[in-house]
């Protein structure tokens, strides 16, 4: 028995020694792995902190740009295409560079103001991580109807309006809902949502509903609960969810100084001599801007010749003709060939050919008293809004890429018109069968409920056929105006408006068309800095 006990004790001792050896080996391995895990944990902590620091730079830059834009300032100082911001988050420092991406009117995808923001996180002066974001500034042309601020709630006739795109007012709306409207076969009054910065008092959805004879006719019950079939009749398939009261205010620009600068194409003082001046910038023969016109314009006519775009500008007894070879070569008055992607400016028998095309912007320091024609290429026509300059549309304003009467299918020839007031002159020749067609985003007004887009009735009251206007685009205005004169509830002069929204104007607006203080992220990329590879 003693020998057996001794053998068992020997086996136990051997197993104990082997177990201790295994534990020792595991301990050594653990000691070897533990620093790696600690370093990995440290790296993960640094990565997370660096990401938040770089992200803080992007968010700060975005808020800074939107604040400037809300004050009517350019998103970054116009004296430079780059701007630097810096700050800190806990122990980290960040540095954000904002860079403007030049507008390229010939490419529909590049027609909104665009910027890149690249924010880099630093710790003890060492670069660790960067975040790059591409931003597009939203355009005023995204609205089918925009009213900055009327003196009271805006009245809308449920059966006389059809607004088939985004609608916004900085006040609130009041809707006349006639008897039988909810059961009628009429289409919805709104189709893509209504946002209002204000709200009518004692209304569940911020809208005041009435019929012309004072009978209350809302789309909700006595407890304020939505009656969705009524809401869908007024606001489309989204029903009550398509109404948003107390939304953020959106303001018109206070002027058009940035448009003047882009048209002139140079930081140098613009010309003061009456006439048409090409935006040469720092060049003597290559266009870097648009067209800068000093003085009133009696008549401006857009046209197309051989696929190229033309513009005729009359000031007093002088007419200047502009030809841009967008599609191919053309012949100059002396028989010489004008190369493709060139611009000829002709006054009388004298002409000059410049290399390059305009940026699509035509800016005038005075009034444009007559505007009409066929547009080719993306274009914006603007006047000095801050000095109360107006534009009067006197005839059809159509597009070369779209059959008259049809909705646009693209953005190639989109157009914007910007003035303090935009008047549409009435004419008995534009009837129900032969309407006045306008293909454009029309912006009339400036910050502070000033200016409008309206039909021009004239100094005397005229009974007769009403002018019919057919708009394919959008209406943006400081205040809604009456498009005619009324007696006993019936219109007897002026014009009627049929407005159809062009959704292409939202993503691909006319060049340099005024923007709102809102930026949309279109791409996002994270980067590890080379200096931080050895984390």
Q: Which residues pair with 101 in a beta bridge?
A: 114
> What confidence score (pLDDT) does residue 42 get?
57
* Residue 502: closest CA among 437, 432, 410: 410
Assigned token pair, 359: 């940026």
Residue 469's SS3 state is strand
Residue 230: phi and psi, rounded to 5, are -70, -45
Between the alpha carbon of residue 504 and those of residues 275, 408, 474, 515, the distances in Å are 34, 8, 11, 15
> What confidence score (pLDDT) does residue 108 get?
43
C-beta separation of 168 from 142 below 8 A: no
Most confident of 109-118, 192-201, 423-432: 192-201
Measure the CA–CA gap between 72 and 62, rounded to whole angstroms.
Answer: 16
C-beta separation of 510 from 363 below 8 A: no
Handedness of CA 474, 480, 486, 490 (dihedral sign): positive
Measure the CA–CA gap between 376 and 73, rounded to whole angstroms.
Answer: 30
Q: Which pLDDT band, with edges at 50, 70 and 90, does 137 fall under?
A: confident
* Residue 365: closest CA among 387, 332, 337, 380: 387
> What confidence score (pLDDT) does residue 193 get?
87
Place of tokens 């931003």: 135
**Max Cα-Cα span within the chain:** 135
> What confidence score (pLDDT) does residue 207 get?
93
Percent pLDDT > 90 in the chain is: 50
Measure the CA–CA gap between 179 and 171, rounded to whole angstroms.
Answer: 26
Between the alpha carbon of residue 41 and those of residues 34, 36, 122, 289, 535, the distances in Å are 10, 9, 19, 54, 11
Assigned token pair, 195: 């946002």
Q: Backbone dihedral region of 461: left (phi > 0), alpha (psi from -120 to 50 degrees) or beta?
A: beta
Residue 444 burial class via C-beta count within 10 angstroms: exposed 0-12, middle 13-18, buried 19 and up: buried
The average pLDDT across 377-386 equals 95
The average pLDDT across 195-217 equals 82
Q: Parallel, antiparallel, or unpaired for β 515-528 and 484-487?
A: unpaired
> What confidence score (pLDDT) does residue 4 get?
55
> What confidence score (pLDDT) does residue 473 get?
96
> What confidence score (pLDDT) does residue 161 get?
81
Residue 452's SS3 state is strand
């Amino acid at each position: 028995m003693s020998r057996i006990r001794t053998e068992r004790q020997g086996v136990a001792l051997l197993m104990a020694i082997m177990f201790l050896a295994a534990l020792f080996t595991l301990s050594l391995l653990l000691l070897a792995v533990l620093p790696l895990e600690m370093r990995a944990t440290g790296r993960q902590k640094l990565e997370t902190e660096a990401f938040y620091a770089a992200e803080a730079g992007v968010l700060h830059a975005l808020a800074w740009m939107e604040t400037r834009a809300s004050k009517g300032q350019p998103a970054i100082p116009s004296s430079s295409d780059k701007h630097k911001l810096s700050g800190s988050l806990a122990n980290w420092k960040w540095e954000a560079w904002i860079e403007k991406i030049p507008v390229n009117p010939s490419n529909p995808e590049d027609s909104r103001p665009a910027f890149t923001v690249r924010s880099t996180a630093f710790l003890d002066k060492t670069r660790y991580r960067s975040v790059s974001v591409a931003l597009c500034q939203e355009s005023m042309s995204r609205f089918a109807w925009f009213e900055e601020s009327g003196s009271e709630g805006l009245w809308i006739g449920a059966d006389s309006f059809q607004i088939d795109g985004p609608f916004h007012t900085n006040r609130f709306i009041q809707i006349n809902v006639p008897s039988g409207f909810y059961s009628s076969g009429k289409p919805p009054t709104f189709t893509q949502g209504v946002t209002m910065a204000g709200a009518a008092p004692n209304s569940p959805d911020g809208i005041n509903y009435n019929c012309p004879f004072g009978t209350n006719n809302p789309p909700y019950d006595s407890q304020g609960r939505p009656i969705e079939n009524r809401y869908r009749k007024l606001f489309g398939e989204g029903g009550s969810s398509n109404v948003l009261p107390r939304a953020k205010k959106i303001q018109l620009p206070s002027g058009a100084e940035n448009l003047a600068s882009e048209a002139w194409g140079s930081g140098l003082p613009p010309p003061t001599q009456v006439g048409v001046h090409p935006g040469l910038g720092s060049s003597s023969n290559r266009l870097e801007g648009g067209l800068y016109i000093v003085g009133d314009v009696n008549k401006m006519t857009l046209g197309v010749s051989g696929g190229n775009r033309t513009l005729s500008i009359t000031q007093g007894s002088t007419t200047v003709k502009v030809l841009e070879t967008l599609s191919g070569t053309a012949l100059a008055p002396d028989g010489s060939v004008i190369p493709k992607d060139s611009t000829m400016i002709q006054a009388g028998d004298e002409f000059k050919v410049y290399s390059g095309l305009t940026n699509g912007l035509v800016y005038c320091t005075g009034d444009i008293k007559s505007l009409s024609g066929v547009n080719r290429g993306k274009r914006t026509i603007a006047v000095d809004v801050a000095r109360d300059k107006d534009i009067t549309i006197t005839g059809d304003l159509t597009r070369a890429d779209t059959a008259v009467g049809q909705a646009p299918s693209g953005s190639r020839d989109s157009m914007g018109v910007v003035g303090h007031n935009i008047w549409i002159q009435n004419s008995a020749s534009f009837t129900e069968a032969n309407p006045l067609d306008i293909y454009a985003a029309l912006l009339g007004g400036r910050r502070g409920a000033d200016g409008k887009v309206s039909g021009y009735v004239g100094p005397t009251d005229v009974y007769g056929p009403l002018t019919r206007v057919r708009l394919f685009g959008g209406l943006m205005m400081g205040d809604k105006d009456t498009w005619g004169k009324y007696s006993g509830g019936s219109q007897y002069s002026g014009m009627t408006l049929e407005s159809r929204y062009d959704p292409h104007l939202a993503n691909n607006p006319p060049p340099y068309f005024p923007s709102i203080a809102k930026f949309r992220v279109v791409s996002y990329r994270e980067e590890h800095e080379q200096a931080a590879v050895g984390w």
